[in-house]
């Protein structure tokens, strides 16, 4: 009986995979910069206010900032 209860709990928990929900960018705040102006950072970002952020967008943002010179 205990094994059955554990199996049921596991089966119920598996479909509950969390999916990130898309959202629209309302504001962009750059914090912690010291050697570079915020304008340069904003120009490097592949997104802007009003754009929709999907699951892939954070990786694209990081890639754009890291590969910039």
pLDDT in tens, 15-31: 555 567 899 999 988 88
Predicted confidence band of residue 55 (pLDDT cuts 50, 70, 90): confident
Predicted confidence band of residue 12 (pLDDT cuts 50, 70, 90): low
Please report the pLDDT score of residue 25 as a whole number: 92
20-27: Cβ within 8 A, 24+ apart: 20/54, 20/55, 22/52, 22/53, 22/54, 23/52, 23/53, 24/50, 24/51, 24/52, 24/53, 25/49, 25/50, 25/51, 25/52, 25/53
Please report the pLDDT score of residue 29 as a whole number: 87
């Amino acid at each position: 009986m205990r094994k059955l209860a554990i199996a049921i709990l596991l089966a119920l928990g598996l479909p509950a995979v969390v999916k990130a929900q898309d959202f629209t960018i309302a504001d962009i705040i750059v914090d912690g910069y010291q050697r570079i102006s915020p304008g340069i950072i904003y120009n490097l970002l592949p997104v802007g206010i009003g754009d929709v952020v999907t699951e892939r967008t954070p990786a694209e943002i990081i890639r754009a900032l890291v590969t910039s010179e």
